[in-house]
């Protein structure tokens, strides 16, 4: 039996004494007065978009303040405790869901954003997706050929390369199943350096091997004179006439409620990098002009469905690099804008996430929970946003200004889910699973592929009982030169206010069809560099 | 409180359907049964006394033998649920409390779970039957309520190291601060 509990992890935390590094880091919880700070650029959010932008702008000599709502948590505190990770590093403590509870949303909330908790998969944006953006939304200058140098630069910066170690048993299920069926498989490129292959990417990397923003661009920006202010929530944009001149912000207590102090940040340019949901919500709270009512619309999730296989050998889905094999056999098989295509991957399974997804109640739920060591968890990420029946969700504000995503699960997604379930059931049986069940509240474990195929045909595919979730929140501030459908220009500038830039995944006009981090890095590097040139001119 | 008023109020909910639950305007608020202003129960950070009374038996039934296997009680499971709420945003908690306020009403429990009885008034066998009926419901609001209440119970419980071990997961490596 695999057991890593005696493995000792001891690494240096670069954040141990930020002032010794010459870093200017302000803990918002220590602010008790009403304070005003000035910079050239305010960046709201420290994830993939904000981290990359902060490093590039700082290195060009611009004074940058990075504002982050989460409190600073770094490798010394990454103790691989699943509950503490959800509490401290995820939006809404990993309890975020769509408005009707149809889809669970795992999105990071950390200094370093979702890059601190993602599973390291790093793909360049598919040609098909970028061509669709160009053709449908008049996105300019972001063809794959034009983006490739930016991807290459970020791959070098974040040490992204195909995983060289053998896949863990969980990912090997995907490889063996797809190989047996003649389906495409490939090794996943990961942003790691000296990875220990232990499997805790989703809880904050304890070895600093993952090249998240926390250990790369944010230290880079701070070393170039940027200021990081954490535990402070951007409340509203300061809008004077048609220009954004700063941000009104509120320090937060540990329980995420305001301390009562306030912070005013003034700058020549403001970049929103809060990620989808947070960035549109900031514009909505600020009553930013939006003549076509587009802000917050077309928010996408890669609605992800699940299949659980039981093997007669140990899988230990909690250990080892969480994602190392994928299949694109079905991602564009039905065309770019046809029925939902899906990417096949595996997911790491720890006890909390596993039991929450598997569900049930009583004795049978505990029986399923105890099968974890022999369980393989496969996932299919549906591409949303390419078909007229797939318009995504809409961000709304709760009474207290927090974002909430209204994204009903419709027939388009349910049809794609059913096909993906069948695909994954077939794959897991082909890999030797003894029993497999789809992520569906009414589905039993099936004993063979024939029984599974017949069983799925009799399942009711309806919202909530069909298990769906997402770790990829995209869109909501659509980019493109088509002013009737887009709110952000291809260079990241907001169409209806000067001084405001959107540099994060919320500019995507559709979902991607791949895990989003590298797309955000590459596009952010390109648009932050252009902004730096503009501000330095 | 007068059950008749609750029932009339509840019928309005039937018409408004999921919109009411989803927009968070709670029937219990309309009928004056809400206790949003009340503080947490003793020993809890977020759940109020009536939530603890309502949910503790349900936590016991949902987690079932998982609690026994870890030498724990339904109250331990309920405390774990309370811990999970610490990470949530205030708006996340409000939405949950609105659902719980609604479930204080017998008519709402009947509509959502198939049983009028308060969970504390049901035997273990009755609770298992209620869960069976509830999870087999075909109306969308009942399904939302089932998932919305039970899914966090699992996450809350199984992230606790003792509970995690009961699944066969050996646990994480040792983290030594350098």
Which residues does residue A236 pair with via DSSP β-bridges, in sequence order? A248
Residue B29's pLDDT is 46
| Residue-wise DSSP of A441-477 | TT---BSSHHHHHHHHHTS---TTTB--EES--EESS
ipTM: 0.95
Q: What is the DSSP letter of B86?
A: T
Same domain, residue pair A179 and A246: no
Residue A501 — left, alpha, or beta (φ > 0 → left; ψ -120 to 50 → alpha)?
beta
Cβ contact, residue pair A86, B85, below 8 Å: no
Same domain, residue pair A44 and A180: no
CB-side exposure of A413: number of CA atoms within 13 Å?
A: 29
In a domain, A91, yes or no: yes
Min Cα separation B89/chain A (Å)? 5
Same domain, residue pair A249 and A361: no
State the best of B24, B151, B160 to mutate against chain A, taking most chain A CBs within 10 Å: B151
Token couple for A206: 């304890």
Q: At what angle do helices B3-16 and B106-113 cross, to 10 degrees?
A: 40
Cβ contact, residue pair B88, A92, below 8 Å: yes
Number of domains in chain A: 2
Min Cα separation A106/chain B (Å)? 12
Cβ contact, residue pair A354, B90, below 8 Å: no
DSSP strands (E only) in A189-295: 189-191, 227-230, 232-240, 243-251, 262-272
**Alpha carbon distance A80, A78 (integer Å):** 6
Nearest to A12 among B87, B128, B178 (CB): B178
In a domain, A472, yes or no: no
In a domain, A479, yes or no: no
Place of tokens 């809060």: A274
Measuring CA to CA, how many Å separate B56 from each of A254, A281, B78, B127, B128?
27, 36, 6, 12, 14
pLDDT band at B178 (very low <50, low <70, confident <90, very high): low
**Alpha carbon distance A36, A238 (integer Å):** 13
**Whether A4 contacts B172, CB under 8 Å:** yes
- CA geometry: angle at A278 spanning A273 and A281, to 5°? 120
Residue B36's pLDDT is 52
pLDDT exceeds 60 at position B20 = no
Same domain, residue pair A112 and A211: yes
Same domain, residue pair A242 and A340: no
Same domain, residue pair A35 and A138: yes
pLDDT exceeds 90 at position B32 = no
Give residues with Cβ within 8 angstroms of A476, minimum separation 6: A276, A277, A279, A280, A295, A296, A297, A298, A299, A395, A506
Same domain, residue pair A179 and A217: no
Residue B26's pLDDT is 41
Same domain, residue pair A200 and A186: no
pLDDT exceeds 80 at position B30 = no
**Whether A326 contacts B142, CB under 8 Å:** no
In a domain, A243, yes or no: yes
- A359 is in which domain, residue-wise? 169-190+304-383+410-467
Give residues with Cβ within 8 angstroms of B94, minimum separation 6: A398, A399, A400, B24, B36
Same domain, residue pair A323 and A217: no
**Alpha carbon distance B54, B132 (integer Å):** 18
In a domain, A149, yes or no: yes
Cβ contact, residue pair A369, B66, below 8 Å: yes
Same domain, residue pair A359 and A506: no
pLDDT exceeds 90 at position B11 = no
**Chain A residue numbers touching B81 (CB-CB < 8 A):** none
In a domain, A96, yes or no: yes
pLDDT exceeds 50 at position B171 = yes
Give residues with Cβ within 8 angstroms of A345, minimum separation 6: A121, A174, A188, A323, A325, A326, A378, A379, A381, A515
CB-side exposure of A240: number of CA atoms within 13 Å?
A: 9
**Chain A residue numbers touching B177 (CB-CB < 8 A):** 10, 13, 76
Give the residue among A404, A385, A384, A381 at the shortest CA–CA distance from A394.
Answer: A404
**Inter-chain Cβ pairs, chain A and chain B, closer than 8 A:** 200
**Alpha carbon distance A84, A94 (integer Å):** 11
In a domain, A403, yes or no: no
Cβ contact, residue pair A463, B61, below 8 Å: no
Same domain, residue pair A42 and A78: yes
**Alpha carbon distance A351, B160 (integer Å):** 9
Taking residue A389's Cβ as centre, other Cβ atoms within 10 Å add up to: 12
Nearest to B159 among A352, A361, A404 (CB): A352
Same domain, residue pair A237 and A368: no
**Chain A residue numbers touching B170 (CB-CB < 8 A):** 1-5
**Chain B residue numbers touching A350 (CB-CB < 8 A):** 159, 164, 169
pLDDT exceeds 80 at position B4 = no
Sequential pLDDT tens for chain A (537 residues): 899 999 999 999 999 999 999 999 999 999 999 999 999 999 999 999 999 999 999 999 999 999 999 999 999 999 999 999 999 999 999 999 999 999 999 999 999 999 999 999 999 999 999 999 999 999 999 999 999 999 999 999 999 999 999 999 999 999 999 999 999 999 999 999 999 999 999 999 999 999 999 999 999 999 999 999 999 999 999 999 999 999 999 999 988 889 999 999 999 999 999 999 999 999 999 999 999 999 999 999 999 999 999 999 999 999 999 999 999 999 999 999 999 999 999 999 999 999 999 999 999 999 999 999 999 999 999 999 999 999 999 999 999 999 999 999 999 999 999 999 999 999 999 999 999 999 999 999 999 999 999 999 999 999 999 999 999 999 999 999 999 999 999 999 999 999 999 999 999 999 999 999 999 999 999 999 999 999 999
Find the DSSP H helices in A401-448.
Answer: 411-430
Task: Convert the pLDDT of each residue in B128-170 to its tens digit.
Answer: 999 999 999 999 999 999 999 999 999 999 999 999 999 999 9
In a domain, A7, yes or no: no
């Amino acid at each position: 039996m695999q057991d890593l509990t005696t493995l000792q992890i001891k690494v240096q935390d670069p954040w141990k004494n930020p002032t010794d590094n010459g870093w200017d880091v302000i803990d918002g919880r220590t602010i008790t007065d009403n304070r005003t700070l000035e910079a050239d650029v305010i960046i709201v959010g420290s994830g993939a978009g904000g981290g990359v932008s902060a490093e590039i702008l700082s290195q060009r000599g611009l004074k940058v303040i990075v504002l982050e709502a989460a409190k600073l948590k770094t490798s010394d505190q990454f103790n691989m405790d699943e509950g503490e990770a959800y509490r401290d590093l995820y939006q809404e403590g990993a309890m975020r869901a769509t408005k009707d509870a149809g889809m669970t949303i795992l999105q990071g909330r950390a200094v370093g954003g979702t890059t601190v908790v993602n599973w390291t998969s790093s793909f360049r944006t598919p040609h098909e997706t970028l061509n669709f953006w160009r053709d449908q939304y008049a996105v300019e200058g972001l063809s794959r050929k034009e983006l490739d140098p930016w991807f290459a630069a970020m791959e070098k910066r974040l040490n992204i390369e195909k995983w060289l170690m053998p896949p863990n048993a969980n990912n090997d299920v995907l490889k063996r199943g797809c190989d047996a069926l003649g389906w495409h498989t490939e090794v996943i490129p990961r942003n790691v350096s000296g990875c220990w292959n232990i499997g805790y990417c989703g809880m904050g990397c304890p070895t600093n091997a993952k090249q998240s923003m926390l250990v790369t661009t944010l230290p880079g920006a701070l070393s170039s004179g940027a200021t990081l202010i954490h535990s402070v929530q951007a409340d509203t944009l300061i809008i004077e006439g048609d220009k954004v001149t700063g941000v009104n912000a509120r320090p937060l207590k540990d329980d995420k409620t305001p301390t009562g102090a306030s912070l005013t940040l003034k700058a020549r340019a403001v970049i929103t990098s809060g990620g989808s949901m947070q960035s549109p919500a900031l514009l909505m709270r600020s009553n930013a002009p939006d003549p076509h009512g587009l802000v917050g619309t077309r928010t996408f999730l890669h609605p992800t469905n699940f299949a659980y296989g039981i093997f007669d050998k140990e899988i230990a889905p909690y250990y080892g690099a969480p994602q190392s094999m994928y299949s694109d056999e079905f991602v564009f098989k039905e065309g770019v804008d046809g029925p939902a295509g899906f990417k096949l991957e595996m997911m790491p399974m720890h006890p909390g996430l596993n039991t929450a997804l598997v569900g049930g109640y009583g004795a049978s739920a505990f029986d399923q929970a105890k099968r974890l060591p022999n369980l393989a968890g496969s996932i299919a990420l549906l591409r949303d946003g390419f078909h007229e029946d797939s318009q995504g969700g809409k961000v709304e504000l709760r009474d207290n200004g927090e974002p909430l995503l209204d994204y009903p699960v419709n027939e388009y997604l349910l049809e794609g889910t059913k096909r993906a379930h069948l695909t994954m059931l077939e794959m897991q049986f082909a890999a030797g699973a003894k029993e497999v069940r789809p992520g569906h509240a009414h589905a039993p474990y099936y004993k063979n592929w024939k029984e599974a195929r017949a069983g799925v045909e009799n399942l009711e595919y309806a919202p909530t009982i069909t298990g769906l979730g997402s770790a990829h929140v995209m869109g909501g501030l659509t980019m493109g030169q088509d002013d009737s459908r887009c709110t952000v220009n291809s260079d990241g500038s907001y169409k209806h206010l000067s001084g405001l830039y959107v540099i994060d995944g919320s500019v995507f006009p559709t979902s991607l069809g791949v895990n989003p981090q590298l797309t955000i890095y590459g596009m952010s590097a390109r648009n932050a560099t252009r902004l730096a040139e503009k501000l330095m001119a | 409180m007068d059950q008749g008023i609750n029932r009339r109020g509840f019928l309005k909910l039937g018409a408004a359907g999921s919109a009411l639950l989803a927009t968070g305007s709670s029937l219990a608020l309309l009928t004056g049964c809400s206790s949003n202003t009340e503080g947490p129960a003793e020993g809890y950070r977020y759940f109020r006394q009536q939530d603890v009374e309502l949910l503790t038996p349900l936590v016991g039934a949902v987690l079932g033998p998982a609690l026994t296997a870890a030498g724990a009680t339904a109250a331990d499971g309920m405390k774990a649920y309370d811990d999970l709420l610490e990470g949530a945003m205030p708006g996340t908690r409000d939405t949950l409390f609105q659902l719980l306020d609604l479930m204080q009403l017998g008519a709402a429990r009947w509509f959502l779970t198939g049983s009028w009885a308060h969970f504390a008034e049901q035997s273990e066998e009755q609770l298992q039957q209620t869960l069976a009926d509830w999870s087999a419901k075909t109306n969308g609001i009942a399904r939302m309520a089932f998932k919305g209440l039970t899914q966090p119970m699992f996450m809350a419980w199984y992230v606790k190291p003792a509970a995690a071990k009961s699944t066969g997961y050996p646990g994480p490596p040792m983290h030594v601060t350098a």
